[in-house]
Copies of this chain bind each other. A is one copy, B any other.
Amino acid sequence: MGTTQLESVPEPKYWHLKTVLTEALDSEFSVGEILPNERDLAARFGVARATLRQALEQLELEGRLQRRRGVGTTVAPPRVGVAVGAERHQWPGAAGDAWQPVDCASAAPPAAVADLLETDRDEQVHTVRRSRMTHGQPVAAELLYIPDSSVPDLSGIDSPSGAARARAVLRELQHLGLEGQDQSVELGSASAEDAKELDRLPGAPVLVVTTRYYAGGRTAAVSVATYRADTCRLTFGASGHVEIHHDPERRAS
């Protein structure tokens, strides 16, 4: 077996520092520990403050560090695996659903969602807001868009508003035959509303999961879920095996 190395590329200074810092985090610091201040860190590694800041930003993007208001920079716990891809297709609100309904309103959805639903852009649809917790922490916020045509018998139901109405809409949805669903994941930034719910600053990077539910040969509902990118790893288990774990503590020995 050869020992050829993959082609090497010169790396910028902050990148080398990032590697060194990663090793220091692994060996010297424990999860939750507060890092020394920037001046001390820059002195220790013999770099300019600007270089240090670049490296810290990278490590935050990679989920190794957290900057928290009023606390400082701390060592982040390993990202939590959050199951996203469903083994079986089911409507939101079906038994075992990890999401909690929070609110329900009628509103015109964003243009991209109206296009998926094939509704007119100014047509109001049921907009259910839900939240998802993992280990007691909010990890995701969702807006679920359901046109009237997908819940035609809802008018007979007199749930006032809020979570009760959200549950009534989801209950009605279960009556529709679900034909399939597909999902996409992309990078986004947290809106002020999502940020508040996720305990982040507006504009923080998030992973946006769009799920399209099919019934009757068309898109019957669209979910746009916003996951914290700093703490979440989205898992799509398709094998019957459990989630992917990166946690070295779980390593088989």
A30: chain B residues within 8 A (beta carbon): none
Q: Is the CB of B244 within 8 A of A210?
A: yes
Is A71's CB within 8 Å of the partner chain B? Answer: no
Is A112's CB within 8 Å of the partner chain B? Answer: yes
Is A172's CB within 8 Å of the partner chain B? Answer: no
Q: Chain A interface secondary structure, helix, strand, loop or mixed?
A: mixed
Distance A246 CA – B1 CA, assembled complex (angstroms): 47
Give the number of chain A interface residues (Cβ < 8 Å).
80
Is A127's CB within 8 Å of the partner chain B? Answer: yes
Contact (A127, B6) CB under 8 Å given A15-B203, A61-B189, A187-B205: yes
Q: Is the CB of B246 within 8 A of A116?
A: yes
Question: A166-195: which residues lie under 8 A (CB-CB) from chain B?
Answer: 179-189, 191-193
Nearest 7 A-B pairs (CB), nearest first? A180-B239, A187-B229, A186-B233, A11-B192, A182-B237, A183-B236, A115-B251
